[in-house]
Structure 1
Amino acid sequence: MAARERIKEVALKLFRVYGVKGVTMFDIARDCGMSKKTVYEHFSDKQSLIDEGMQQLLDGHSAFFKETHTTAENAIDELVRNMKYTINMARSLNPVMLFELQKYHPDTWKNIENFQRDCILYGITENLKRGMTEGLYRHNLDLNVIARMRQLQLDAAFDQLQYPPDTFDMPAVMEQVTAHFILGIATIKGHKLVNQYLQIKEEE
């Protein structure tokens, strides 16, 4: 692996675990097994490393969502796959990183907000359209309202004020809100698939 890619990989791992504020260039160099001078030869400062690392992370998310949209059997399969991906990603992400990016790195946070609008919100809307076409979602959904509602659900699941980590398990929260969301928009035909994909047991 090239030194530049190695630095980004290690930096992202540290940022995800400890947040961005508490991680120094020395920490990154130490974990890479190289000198701080070598790190600075590839990245002029910590901000450039944060920007490039976050962009790589967002590009990876975007690529996954696009692939899932293409390969999923149907809209519900796509939505559930995206939920599981988000849960796995969240398990290795300290929410402090997002808080610190928003507070101390506004330009980087702006890129994340653009991603939320251009990729996440767009993807949710396209999934809703697909589900309506497939007869799995109710045909009378207001796309603008429902898509934004879903995005707010996702944002809230990462919000430590809404779901304190000492009280709530984030994957469990994500599964609950996703099940509630799909069941709320699904047709009778869609409900059968929801129960199958989420392994929801029918009430006796």
Structure 2
Amino acid sequence: MVVKDRIMETALKMFRTYGVKGVTMFDIARDCGISKKTLYEHFEDKQSLINDALRELLNDHIQFAEKNHTETANAIEELVNQMQFIRSKARTLNPVMLFEIEKYHPDTWKEVELFRTDCILYGIKENLKRGMSEGLYRKNLDIDIVARMRQLQLEAAFDPIHYPADHYEMHKVMDEVTTHFILGVATLQGHKLAYQYLQIKEEV
């Protein structure tokens, strides 16, 4: 692994664990096993490192979303896979990281705002259209309203104000809100499929 990639991997791991404010360039260099001089040869300052780390995090999600949309059998499988992907990321992501970027790095946060619109909201709308065309989601859904509702659910799950980490495990929050959403938009046919994917016992 080249030095720059190793720095990125180390920095992203530390940001995800401790947030961005409390992690210094010295901390990153030490954990990476290099000198601060070497670190600054690859990254001008901490801000540039935060920018690149966030882009890598967002691009990882974008690549998954594109692959997930084309390779899944139906809209519900696509949504369940998305839930599992976010769960896996949530296990190693301290929500403080996003909170601190929004508060202390507003220019960097603009990329998150674009991601919310161009990837998350767009992907939700496409999934809703897909599910409706497959007969798995109700035909009378208002796509704009329902998509925005789902987006707000996801954002709330990552907000430590709504779900503080000392009281809630983010992956469990994601499970609950996603299950609630799927069963809320699904037809009877969709419910049967959802029960299989989510391993829910159908109530008699």
- Shorter-normalised TM-score: what interval? over 0.9
Q: Write the letter of the residue equivalent to 1:112.
A: V
1:34-45 aligned within 5 A = 34-45=34-45
- Which amino acid in 2 is paired with 1:153? Q
Q: CA deviation at 1:168?
A: 2.0
Cα distance per residue 1:85-113 (max 9 Å; x no partner):
00110110011101100010001111011
Instruction: Give the SS at the match of 1:20.
Output: coil
Counterpart amino acid of residue 55 in structure 2? Q
Give the 4+ runs in structure 1 shifted more than 3 A.
Answer: none
Q: How does 1:16-35 map to 2 (within 5 A)?
A: 16-35=16-35
- Whichever residue aligns with residue 74 of structure 1, its letter is N
Q: Match for residue 104 of structure 2?
A: 104
2:158 is the counterpart of 1:158:
yes
2:129 aligned residue: 129
Tell me how far 1:53 sits from its aligned partner.
Answer: 1.2
Q: Tell me the CA shift for residue 176 of structure 1.
A: 1.1
For the residues of structure 1 that align with 2:40 and 2:52, how far apart are their CA atoms? 14
- Aligned equivalent of 1:5: 5
User: What amino acid is the match of 2:16?
Assistant: R
Could you list the per-position Cα deviations for residues 101-153 of structure 1 after superposition, in whole angstroms to 9, with x for gaps in the alignment?
00100011110111011000000000000001101001111110000000000
Q: How does 1:1-204 map to 2 (within 5 A)?
A: 1-204=1-204
**Deviations 1:143-175 (CA, angstroms, capped at 9, x unpaired):** 100000000000111112212222222222111
Q: TM-score under structure 2 normalisation? A: 0.98
Give percent identity, aligned residues only.
65
Instruction: For 1:39, give the aligned amino acid.
Output: L
CA distance in 1, matches of 2:146, 2:165: 27
Contact 2:10 2:28 in 1 (8 A): yes
Amino acid at match of 1:183: L
Whole-Å separation in 1 of the counterparts to 2:54 and 2:160: 21
Distance across 1 between alignment mates of 2:138 and 2:35: 58
Give, as a single letter, the amino acid of the residue that structure 2 aligns with 1:7: I
**Partner Cα distance (2:154, 2:128) in 1:** 16
For structure 2, the residue ranges without an aligned partner over 5 or more in a row are none
Distance apart, 1:191 and its partner CA: 0.5
Alpha-carbon contact 2:99-2:159 (below 8 Å) kept: no
Give distance in 2, aligned partners of 1:162 and 1:53.
25
Kept after mapping to 1: 8 A contact 2:182/2:194: yes
Q: Gapped runs of 5+ residues in structure 1?
A: none
- TM-score normalised according to structure 1 size: 0.98
Distance in 1 (alpha carbons) for counterparts of 2:31 and 2:24? 11
CA shift, 1:19, in A, is 0.4
| Structure 1 Cα separation of the partners of residues 134 and 34 of structure 2 | 54
CA distance in 2, matches of 1:106, 1:161: 19
